[in-house]
């Protein structure tokens, strides 16, 4: 049997020496499933393929699965294909159940979520509290796809659409949804209908979404950790409320930019030295693919703190910041080095925000624990402490 063509042949991005193929979003799956189900409901004929024009302008050709229809209701699924993007929803079936709902005065298409689609429980997100977590663009795609079929079939009454994602509740635990106040399942997402592999824009957009929600709910300051190490350190070694923190991954610069744009008054990073030694050199994307220079920067701070040439050379030979810190501690330089580093971290963060907001950091290592902090960190940390 010939391989099905989905319309994305020839669409890829190049990362290093690899070609990574495009995929399509849960929003595209939902719209295509709704379109196919509506066609089968109104025509009472089974179809083998459904075409969907995505907002990006790419025409998809998708196969409806698990088809079932009668004169009152129709359902089918589209299998999610995230391409070569590391996508937790890849391979899931996105179902649409459509049914006739009689004459309507204004809207023709009514959209809701079923099993595996999350519900909004906190204000500040794109949809109101209580609504299914189906974002604006997917809702528009579903509506337009269903209306297109209704016009072709000369059907003028209402259509009820229910989107469900079996297994979505379990997969959602691996996403940002629980932190955002989306409970019971996944979000139906996508602004272009297309998944671009390993898209930094998508990751930054998810960080922004959480920041926007916090701001709309009254937060004036942000407690940030680049990743799990920071969150674990907050939980195990401080009196700070880890539940109020959020992760920013490697995007320190973009996070600072968004904090200024969204009107926050200050940010406190709790970060592993392996990440933030880079920030002390003005490096605002801490992923190793973008930059390293950890040993060089550790060496520079050590030299400024009085290290001799042999110590500097030993630091330059290290592979990890933990190794470098061991040498620095062995020579009694930790306090001086961390003071230097914290000062530079503060200086470069302030340079990034142009002095618009307060920027502080607490630095630690997995082996040696707390290492140091910027001068205003202790006072800012008071805003994030919970009552014992």
| 380 and 346 assigned to the same domain | yes
Cα distances (angstroms) measured from residue 153 to each of 39, 148, 149, 156, 357: 8, 9, 6, 9, 57
d(CA 149, CA 327) in angstroms, rounded, equals: 70
d(CA 210, CA 219) in angstroms, rounded, equals: 11
**Residue 201 within any structural domain of the chain:** no
**Residue 334 within any structural domain of the chain:** yes
Dump pLDDT digits (tens) for 290-328.
888 999 999 999 999 999 999 999 999 988 899 999 999
Q: Which range has the worst mean pLDDT, 11-20, 210-219, 247-256?
A: 11-20
Quick one: average pLDDT of 140-154? 96
Percent of the chain scoring above 90 in pLDDT = 74
Check whether 367 has a pLDDT greater than 80. Answer: yes
Average pLDDT, the chain: 92
If DSSP states are collapsed to H, E and C, what string results for the chain? CCCCCCCCCCCEEEECCEEEECEECHHHHHHHHHHHHHHHHHHCCCCCCEEEECCCCCEEEECCEEEEECCCEEEEEEECCCCCCCCCCCCCEEEEEEEECCCCCCCCEEEEECCEECEECCCCCCCCCCCECECHHHHHHHHHHHHHHHHHCCCCCCEEEEEECCCHHHHHCCCCHHHHCEECEECECCCCCEECCCCHHHHHHHHHHHHHHHHHCCCCEEEEECCHHHHHHHHHHCCECHHHEEECCCEHHHHHHHHHHCCCCEEEEEEEHHHHHHHCCCCCECCCCCCCCHHHHHHHHHHHCCCCHHHHHHHHCCCCHHHHHHHHHHCCCHHHHHHHHHHHHHHHHHHHHCCCCEEEEEEEECCCEEEEECCCHHHHHHHHECCC
CA angle 132, 133, 136 (to 5 degrees): 105
Quick one: average pLDDT of 89-106? 90
Q: Which range has the worst mean pLDDT, 19-23, 217-221, 261-265, 301-305?
A: 19-23
**Residue 130 within any structural domain of the chain:** yes
Quick one: average pLDDT of 328-345? 97
Cβ neighbourhood burial of 33 (10 Å; 0-12, 13-18, 19+) = buried
- Of 144, 167, 195, the residue that ends a domain is 195
Quick one: average pLDDT of 226-244? 89
- Give the pLDDT score at 2: 40
- Of 195, 219, 239, the residue that ends a domain is 195
- Give the pLDDT score at 16: 66
Percent of the chain scoring above 70 in pLDDT = 97
| 41 and 136 assigned to the same domain | yes
Check whether 102 has a pLDDT greater than 50. Answer: yes
Quick one: average pLDDT of 142-164? 96
Check whether 18 has a pLDDT greater than 90. Answer: no
The whole domain housing 331 covers 206-384
**Residue 302 within any structural domain of the chain:** yes
d(CA 139, CA 117) in angstroms, rounded, equals: 13
Check whether 123 has a pLDDT greater than 90. Answer: no
Dump pLDDT digits (tens) for 172-206.
988 878 877 899 999 998 889 998 886 677 788 88
CATH number at residue 142: 3.30.2110.10
| 230 and 371 assigned to the same domain | yes
- Give the pLDDT score at 181: 83
- Of 195, 224, 251, the residue that ends a domain is 195
Q: Judge whether 20 and 198 are in contact, CB under 8 Å.
A: yes
Reference 146, options 36, 256, 241; nearest CA is 36
Check whether 273 has a pLDDT greater than 50. Answer: yes
pLDDT-based confidence at residue 387 (cuts at 50, 70, 90): very low
- Give the pLDDT score at 116: 98
- Give the pLDDT score at 60: 96
**Residue 25 within any structural domain of the chain:** yes
| 181 and 48 assigned to the same domain | yes
- Give the pLDDT score at 88: 86
Dump pLDDT digits (tens) for 201-232.
778 888 998 999 999 999 999 999 998 888 88
Which residue is associated with the tokens 């009196």?
Answer: 239
Dump pLDDT digits (tens) for 339-350.
999 999 999 999
| 187 and 221 assigned to the same domain | no
Q: Please give the tally of structural domains in the chain.
A: 2
| Residues 6+ away with beta carbon under 8 Å from 284 | 252, 253, 254, 256, 348, 352
Cβ neighbourhood burial of 134 (10 Å; 0-12, 13-18, 19+) = buried
């Amino acid at each position: 049997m010939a391989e099905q063509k989905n319309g994305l042949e020839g669409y890829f991005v190049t990362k290093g020496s690899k070609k990574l193929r495009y995929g399509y979003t849960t929003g595209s799956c939902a719209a295509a499933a709704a379109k196919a189900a509506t066609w089968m409901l109104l025509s009472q004929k089974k179809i083998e393929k459904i075409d969907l024009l995505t907002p990006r302008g790419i025409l998809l050709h998708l196969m409806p699965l698990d088809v079932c229809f009668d004169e009152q209701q129709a359902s089918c699924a589209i299998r999610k294909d995230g391409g070569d993007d590391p996508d937790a929803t890849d391979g899931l079936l996105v179902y649409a159940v459509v049914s006739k709902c009689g004459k309507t005065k204004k809207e023709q298409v009514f959209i809701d979520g079923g099993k595996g689609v999350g519900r909004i429980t906190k204000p500040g997100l794109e949809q109101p509290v209580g609504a299914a977590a189906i974002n604006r663009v997917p809702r528009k795609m579903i509506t337009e796809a269903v209306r297109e079929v209704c016009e072709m079939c000369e059907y003028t009454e209402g259509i009820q659409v229910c989107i469900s994602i079996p297994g979505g509740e379990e997969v959602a635990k691996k996403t940002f949804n629980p932190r955002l106040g989306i409970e019971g399942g996944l979000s139906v997402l996508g602004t272009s209908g297309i998944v671009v592999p390993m898209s930094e824009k998508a990751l930054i957009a998810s960080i922004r979404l959480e920041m926007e929600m916090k701001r709309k709910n009254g937060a004036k300051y942000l407690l940030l950790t680049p990743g799990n190490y920071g969150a674990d350190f907050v939980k195990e070694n401080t009196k700070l409320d880890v539940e109020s923190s959020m992760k920013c991954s490697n995007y320190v610069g973009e996070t600072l930019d968004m904090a200024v744009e969204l009107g926050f008054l200050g940010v406190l990073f709790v970060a592993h030295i392996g990440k933030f030694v880079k920030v002390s050199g003005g490096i605002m994307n801490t992923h190793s693919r973008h930059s390293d220079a950890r040993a060089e920067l550790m060496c520079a701070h050590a030299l400024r703190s009085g290290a001799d040439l042999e110590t500097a050379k030993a630091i330059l030979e290290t592979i990890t910041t933990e190794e470098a810190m061991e040498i620095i501690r062995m020579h009694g330089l930790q306090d001086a080095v961390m003071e230097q580093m914290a000062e530079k971290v503060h200086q470069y963060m302030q340079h990034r925000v142009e002095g618009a907001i307060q920027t502080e950091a607490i630095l630690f290592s997995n082996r040696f624990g707390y290492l140091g902090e910027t001068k205003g960190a202790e006072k800012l940390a008071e805003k994030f402490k919970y009552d014992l």
